[in-house]
Amino acid sequence: MPEARERLGGFVLMAGEGRRLRSLFPDMPKPLVPVKGFPMAGHVIYSMGKMGVRKFIANLHVEPRMIQENILGVLPEGAEIAWSLEQCLLGTGGGILNALPLMEGMDTVMIRTCDIVMGSDLSEAFRDHETRKSSVTLVVSGSGPDSEAGKIWLDSGGEVVFGNDENQCRKLKPVWFVGTHLVSPDIYRLAEGFFTPPFSIVEVYRLLQKEGVRIRGFEIREGWLDLGTEDGFRQIDKFLESWPEAIHPGAGR
């Protein structure tokens, strides 16, 4: 009997070096940085688990054994996780494509970075992705840090436009990518063999668009916070005043 397919699987990007947090946590791998007494990546895994995700993937590079031991202890009940180890950093695009065999049997994969928390549980984004039968949906926000402005836009039909033509982009809606993708993973096979690591997932999406793949944006109204920077990390208390459900409810407040 063939193995049952997963309607929604989860991929958490954990391989980054966490350099932007070194001043606060010099010896701590970024996924394990404590946020209200709970590992940073654990909050992301918990929120995906609330959506029904039971099969997870994570890529690792820095201190993989330490991360594995700690993350196994915060998985939702009944969940399992597969590890994609990177001997050298592959970049977001390289890390995702390298783990493609582990996505076998998943209809949709929700990919999230381990350091961004959101006030939304993203269930609506997933419904939109399925209803529209999208190949790729990027979760975006209408607001974000100035340092990340000017990178992507949405056209009137909700399609993503990556910034490169200022005259064209003036007519579009600027948005911020919040580190979450909903993807039909087989679409990534169109990009295999085109890049040499390390490379960004944005490079992959630019290529896919040239191949005719539609990449849609889903705009969230709830807040989001990048905990991967020192400034963002210091804003967690203020953020939770408005979005208290953004982190694991069992975490110390």
Q: Between these two residues, 102 and 249, which has the higher pLDDT value?
A: 102
User: For residue 2, what pLDDT is reported?
Assistant: 57
Q: Which domains does the chain have, with CATH numbers?
A: 6-241 (3.90.550.10)
User: For residue 3, what pLDDT is reported?
Assistant: 65
96 membership: H or E segment, kind and range? helix 91-98
Of 121, 113, 120, 119, nearest to 148 (Cα)? 113
| Phi-psi map region of 133: left, alpha, beta (phi>0 left; psi -120 to 50 alpha) | left
User: For residue 146, what pLDDT is reported?
Assistant: 86
Instruction: Decide if pLDDT at 64 tops 60.
Output: yes
Write out pLDDT tens, residues 169-207.
Answer: 678 999 999 999 999 999 999 999 999 999 999 999 999
- Tell me what the mean pLDDT of segment 95-104 comes to: 97
Type of residue at 115 = D
Contact 154, 173 (CB under 8 A): yes
User: For residue 167, what pLDDT is reported?
Assistant: 56
User: For residue 252, what pLDDT is reported?
Assistant: 61
Please, what is the average pLDDT of the chain?
93
User: For residue 178, what pLDDT is reported?
Assistant: 96
pTM of the model: 0.95
CA dist 4 and 106 (Å) reads 9
Q: Between these two residues, 146 and 135, which has the higher pLDDT value?
A: 135
